[in-house]
């Protein structure tokens, strides 16, 4: 029989992970720390729904990775445990960035099957959802997560208007809306049409960036659930928390723990060391970039690639290079430039150009190689 593997080394069927899913982005933690105030305010807004009335509308704001989505998931789970008279549906607006696709998701959440693929008019889609609510005497609470994507496509006002005025066309329909924005530069209320502003009037719940001691608490909880005992030392965990605090995004830290664990396994090591964290950070620090890129259309990706190769040039010059690849007109080009700018992927700076008045120069917000590698 072979000798025992060296102490501190993994044999081929062992793992440093107790439960790798704990480090996935969509994992909902059992204990949700440092967000008690926000949860209290959200619960208060939804309380009328549990009593059968229309809930208060809410705007949830805060940078990425501050616990907004998790709090909505927790809240919806709690409501579901209390009553079956409230239907809660969370819509990911990065994936569903038009009014029609938002309502298709609401249809699916209401009937448990997708609307007919042959296409059904918006009016009909909307009527069927509202009539079903009235018929079942249920309150609908809709969370528009990453609502900023609806704004980038100029679909936010129409979507909210339809939801907020539902009871006028369908008496008895009770719908509450939680809009969740992870774009700190977007003023949700200001950007809505006045017709929506007059009926929306939401409560405001803000999620600030976690500070370093809070990050240590949260990551420590994940470590205890996700890794076997003794896999990562306190000092290494503090280092992960430091890098996470620099990024301002908790998801960077969670992703970093997962990648560092995989890195340790590659070395057949039973413990995660500082070098595993350092090597993994090159990937983890770009988690937001990867997420933004995954939501882009082919045309938007093409433009970003063109900008990467013409970094810092004037918008007109970039357009010439873009048009060679796509045949799109300048108006559509301008819209895509604005969207990439709003997503924080590029900086579009206005500058005085000799003899030509004001012009925009377009430059990448990330290192060129980081963007091009992830576009491949």
Show the beta-strand stretches assigned E in the chain.
58-61, 86-92, 139-145, 174-181, 203-206, 313-314, 346-353, 357-364
4: helix, coil or strand? coil
Supply the DSSP string of 208-243, one letter for each residue: PPPPHHHHHHHHHHHHHHHB-TTSB-HHHHHHHHHH
What is the rounded distance in angstroms from the CA atom of residue 106 to the CA atom of residue 126? 9
Distance, in Å, from the CA atom of 280 to the CA atom of 274, rounded to the nearest integer, reads 10
Annotated ligand binding at 69? The verdict is yes
The H or E element that residue 134 is part of is helix 122-136
Stretch (H or E) spanning 15: none
The bridge status of strand 357-364 relative to strand 313-314 is: antiparallel
Write down the pLDDT at residue 356: 64
* 66 labeled part of a ligand binding site: yes
In the chain the domains, ranked by start, together with CATH numbers, are 35-206 (3.40.50.300), 210-292 (1.10.8.60), 296-373 (1.10.10.10)
Q: Is residue 43 part of an annotated ligand binding site?
A: no
- Please tell me the predicted confidence (pLDDT) of residue 86: 97
pLDDT in single tens digits along all 376 residues of the chain: 444 445 677 776 789 999 999 999 889 999 999 999 999 999 999 999 999 999 999 999 999 999 999 999 999 999 999 999 999 999 999 999 999 999 999 999 999 999 988 789 999 999 999 999 999 999 999 999 999 999 999 999 999 999 999 999 999 999 999 999 999 899 999 999 999 999 999 999 999 999 999 999 999 999 999 999 999 999 999 999 999 999 999 999 999 999 999 999 999 999 999 999 999 999 999 998 998 999 899 999 999 999 999 999 999 999 999 999 998 999 999 999 999 999 999 999 887 766 667 788 999 999 999 999 999 8
Alpha carbon 133 to its chain centroid, in Å, reads 28
End-to-end CA distance of the chain: 48
pLDDT for position 3 = 44
Which whole-number Å values give the CA distances from 135 to 55, 142, 236, 261, 265, in the listed order?
Answer: 19, 18, 56, 51, 55
């Amino acid at each position: 029989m072979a000798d025992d593997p060296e102490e501190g080394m993994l044999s081929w069927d062992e793992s440093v992970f107790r439960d790798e899913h704990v480090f996935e982005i969509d994992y909902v933690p059992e204990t949700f720390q440092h967000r008690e105030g926000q949860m209290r305010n959200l619960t208060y807004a939804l309380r009328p729904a549990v009593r059968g009335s229309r809930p208060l509308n809410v705007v949830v704001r805060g940078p990425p990775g501050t616990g907004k989505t998790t709090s909505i998931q927790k809240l919806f789970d709690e409501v579901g445990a209390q009553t079956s008279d409230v239907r809660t549906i969370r819509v990911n607006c990065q994936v569903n960035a038009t009014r029609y696709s938002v309502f298709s998701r609401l249809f699916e959440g209401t009937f448990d099957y997708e609307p007919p693929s042959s296409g059904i008019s918006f009016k009909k889609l909307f009527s069927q959802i509202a009539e079903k609510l009235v018929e079942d005497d249920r309150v609908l609470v809709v969370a528009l997560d990453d609502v900023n994507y609806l704004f980038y496509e100029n679909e936010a006002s129409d979507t909210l208007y339809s939801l907020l005025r539902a009871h006028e066309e369908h008496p008895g329909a009770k719908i509450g809306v939680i809009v969740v924005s992870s774009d700190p530069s977007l003023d949700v209320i200001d950007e809505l049409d006045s017709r929506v502003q007059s009926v929306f009037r939401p409560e405001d719940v803000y999620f600030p960036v976690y500070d370093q001691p809070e990050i240590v608490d949260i990551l420590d909880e994940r470590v205890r659930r996700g890794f076997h005992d003794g896999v990562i030392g306190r000092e290494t965990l503090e280092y992960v928390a430091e890098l996470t605090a620099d990024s301002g995004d908790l998801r960077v830290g969670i992703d970093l723990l997962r990648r560092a664990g995989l890195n340790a396994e590659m070395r057949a090591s039973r413990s995660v060391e500082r070098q595993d964290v350092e090597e993994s950070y090159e990937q983890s620090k770009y988690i937001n970039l990867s997420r933004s890129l995954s939501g882009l259309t082919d045309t938007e990706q093409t433009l970003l690639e063109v900008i990467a190769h013409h970094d810092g040039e004037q918008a007109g010059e970039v357009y010439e290079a873009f048009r060679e690849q796509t045949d799109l007109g300048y108006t559509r080009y301008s819209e895509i430039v604005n969207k990439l700018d709003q997503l924080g992927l590029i900086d579009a700076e206005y500058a005085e150009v000799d003899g030509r008045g004001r012009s925009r120069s377009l430059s990448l917000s990330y290192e060129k190689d980081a963007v091009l590698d992830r576009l491949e």
